[in-house]
Amino acid sequence: MSETPANGRTPLDRTPQWAALGKHRAELGEQHLRGLFAADPDRGTRYTLQVGDLFVDYSKHLVTDRTLELLRELAAATGVAELRDAMFRGEKINTTEGRAVLHTALRAPRGAVVEVDGENVVPAVHAVLDKMAAFSERVRSGEWTGHTGKRIRNVVNIGIGGSDLGPAMAYEVLRSYTDRDLTVRFVSNVDGADLHEAVRDLDAAETLFVVASKTFTTIETVTNAVVARGWLLEQLGAGDEAVAKHFVALSTNAQGVADFGIDTANMFEFWDWVGGRYSYDSAIGLSLMIAIGAERFREMLDGFHLVDEHFRTAPAEQNVPLLLGLLGVWYGSFFDAQAHAVLPYSHYLSKFTAYLQQLDMESNGKSVDREGNPVDWQTGPVVWGTPGTNGQHAYYQLLHQGTKLIPADFLGFAQPVADLQPALVAQHDLLMANFFAQTQALAFGKTAEEVAAEGVPAELVPHKTFRGNHPTTTILAAELTPSVLGQLVALYEHKVFVQGAVWNIDSFDQWGVELGKVLAKKIEPALLTGEGTEALDASTANLVGRYRELRGR
């Protein structure tokens, strides 16, 4: 059991609301979704909510009205709304880093007031957006040329984590809105193969590198950017004077940018109150904005803002991020669910779940509370998933008949994207038939009696039976537009926030990534010269020795 923390907050698992949920869970027992639907013919319409363009069906969850009531009571008791309001007010709720958490200010409309340390940050946000828009337009129109006078046809974003996953994901999602004459690529891995493959067929004279790094100290990004600069200058046979036309930076660290050799006039700024994984709607989105244009980018920001406002103002009963966050708490602690699947039925969302992995797992993969006490409850789940229908032919077997409970979100769209040829448009109904069929099968399954009634031999009946009772959320929108993408991302951002608030963890730091970075710095010289190998643990020392042998050292 956790000790009562210094701030007097009762540990989550000792609150009466937690106890009430535990009791309720025991009473629910093995209640099946078949029974819940049979008992309430309106359940399929009653357990739905609308936020912006997103229609959210949560009827296929293992909950009753009482469960939802108890979960909302838990949210009230753990101060979710108070922490939310503190976030929107610009208070330093990222306590271990002493920072405000204001990604919501990045999409606040011009004229709004959001203060950090007494200063309204909205004018600066819009000044950067305007600078990005002007630059994007110059690149898109061909006015911005490279060192040799050729127009830019290739954009290579170099960044990692939050400085890669967001723009890379959104570029894929909004591909049908992009300027198809531009080639846009994303390089993140310190594995040289990444940069190699990204530039090998590009004309350097037509290539713009966008170096994206909040800190401008991240080893992968700086290493790749140095090599990219070398490649560019060698290809062009030019000196450092060529850099200004081919490199721009997205960062909070002007000094680091200048030290790298990028003119700070070509730097697009953001601020320490924007977390890396919450940053692609800041300057970090520049590559995306070049690809889709400033107008579409602003539509996306409006989508974010719409959900921000919903989260800030909607009553608890209708608050979608609150609901989704609480459902995750319910399954994690009361069903011992370890994972959460996000299964988009859109090819364009192929990188969406990878993006959510950082958003969710870097935010809520914590095991001490805000005061540093170990927590005794489940925190963030393993988030995973790939687009349907591909997953159906790979791992859905485990979802349907495995031993694990894995709640899943199904994301689908009524309209196929524009500009598909008619035969491909026709395929959309087949895609969506699968989308609806899967949540139906997961929820209701197929009983042994139903299988036997089909004449299946007795020995095969258990193999062909589907237990069902696998909870899912269905999120359906008319179309995958820039605004809808913004709405979806904001929805997940706030869901993650709700869970962190209930669990009393700091969702906005990421100390867990540091140890590996420090150790890698120590191991690198050992790989090169063998020096320091003896100080390593026996396993690592042996592996380093084997590696050196294989490298011929």
Binding segment for ligand F6P among 62-70, 156-164, 293-301, 498-506 (CB under 6 A)?
Answer: 156-164
Among 94, 213, 224, 282, binds ligand F6P (CB under 6 A): 213
Q: How far is the CB of 169 from ligand F6P (least distance, A)?
A: 13
Residues facing 383 on adjacent strands: 340
Which helix or strand (DSSP H or E) is residue 26 part of? helix 16-28
Q: Which residues contact 538 (CB under 8 A, 6 or more apart)?
A: none
Binding segment for ligand F6P among 3-11, 160-168, 335-343, 418-426 (CB under 6 A)?
Answer: 160-168
d(CA 423, CA 127): 45
Q: How far is the CB of 102 from ligand F6P (least distance, A)?
A: 16
What secondary structure does DSSP assign to 105-127, as a single string?
Answer: GGGPPTT---EETTEE-HHHHHH
Residue type, 392: Q
Output DSSP code: residue 247.
E
Length of the chain: 553
For residue 141, count other CB atoms closer than 10 A to its CB: 9
Question: Which CB, 161 or 482, lies closer to ligand F6P?
Answer: 161
Question: Which CB, 160 or 476, lies closer to ligand F6P?
Answer: 160
Question: Which CB, 59 or 510, lies closer to ligand F6P?
Answer: 510
Question: Residue for token digits 């700091």?
Answer: 506
Q: Is 157 in the site for ligand F6P (CB under 6 A)?
A: no
**Based on the number of CB atoms within 10 Å of its own CB, is 104 exposed (0-12), middle (13-18) or buried (19 or more)?**
buried
d(CA 492, CA 239): 45
Instruction: Sketch the per residue contact string, 516 through 535, with ligand F6P: x for CB under 6 A, - otherwise.
Output: --------------------
Alpha helices (runs of H) in 339-419, residue ranges in sequence order: 352-357, 363-364, 396-401
Among 2, 64, 163, 499, binds ligand F6P (CB under 6 A): 163
d(CA 400, CA 394): 12
Q: Is 84 in the site for ligand F6P (CB under 6 A)?
A: no
Residues facing 99 on adjacent strands: 94
Question: What six digits make up the tokens of 71?
Answer: 């979960």
d(CA 277, CA 499): 16
Q: How far is the CB of 104 from ligand F6P (least distance, A)?
A: 18
Among 11, 161, 325, 407, binds ligand F6P (CB under 6 A): 161
Question: Which CB, 365 or 445, lies closer to ligand F6P?
Answer: 365
Size of site (CB under 6 A) for ligand F6P: 14
Q: Is 513 in the site for ligand F6P (CB under 6 A)?
A: yes
Q: Is 160 in the site for ligand F6P (CB under 6 A)?
A: yes
Question: Which CB, 80 or 211, lies closer to ligand F6P?
Answer: 211
Radius of gyration of the chain (CA): 25
Q: Strands 183-187 and 207-212: what pairing?
A: unpaired
Q: Is 188 in the site for ligand F6P (CB under 6 A)?
A: no
Q: Is 223 in the site for ligand F6P (CB under 6 A)?
A: no
List active site positions.
362, 393, 517
Q: How far is the CB of 513 from ligand F6P (least distance, A)?
A: 4
Among 215, 392, 434, 540, binds ligand F6P (CB under 6 A): 215
Q: How far is the CB of 272 from ligand F6P (least distance, A)?
A: 11
**Based on the number of CB atoms within 10 Å of its own CB, is 538 exposed (0-12), middle (13-18) or buried (19 or more)?**
exposed
Among 136, 218, 357, 472, binds ligand F6P (CB under 6 A): 218
Bond into 389 cis (ω within 30): yes
Closest residue by Cα to residue 483 from 203, 199, 281: 281
Binding segment for ligand F6P among 20-28, 158-166, 291-299, 439-447 (CB under 6 A)?
Answer: 158-166
Among 17, 64, 104, 221, binds ligand F6P (CB under 6 A): 221
Q: Which of residues 492-511 bind ligand F6P (CB under 6 A)?
A: 510
Phi, psi of 342 (to 5 degrees): -120, 115
Output DSSP code: residue 147.
T
Instruction: Sketch the per residue contact string, 356 through 395, with ligand F6P: x for CB under 6 A, - otherwise.
Output: ------x---------------------------------
Alpha helices (runs of H) in 263-315, residue ranges in sequence order: 286-292, 294-313
Q: How far is the CB of 218 from ligand F6P (least distance, A)?
A: 3
Among 99, 277, 366, 495, binds ligand F6P (CB under 6 A): 277
Among 140, 214, 340, 495, binds ligand F6P (CB under 6 A): 214
Q: Is 162 in the site for ligand F6P (CB under 6 A)?
A: yes
CA 453 to the chain's CA centroid: 45
d(CA 424, CA 527): 51
Instruction: Sketch the per residue contact string, 311 through 350, with ligand F6P: x for CB under 6 A, - otherwise.
Output: ----------------------------------------
Q: How far is the CB of 24 from ligand F6P (least distance, A)?
A: 37
Question: Which CB, 3 or 514, lies closer to ligand F6P?
Answer: 514
Binding segment for ligand F6P among 138-146, 209-217, 378-386, 428-436 (CB under 6 A)?
Answer: 209-217
Residue type, 382: V
Q: How far is the CB of 158 from ligand F6P (least distance, A)?
A: 10
3-class SS at 351? coil
d(CA 150, CA 206): 6
Q: How far is the CB of 217 from ligand F6P (least distance, A)?
A: 7
3-class SS at 483? helix
Question: Which CB, 264 or 542, lies closer to ligand F6P?
Answer: 264
Q: How far is the CB of 32 from ligand F6P (least distance, A)?
A: 41
Contact call for residues 502 and 329 (beta carbons, < 8 A): yes
d(CA 17, CA 66): 12
Question: What six digits make up the tokens of 323?
Answer: 């609901």
Catalog residues that contact ligand F6P under the rule CB under 6 A: 160-163, 213-215, 218, 221, 276-277, 362, 510, 513
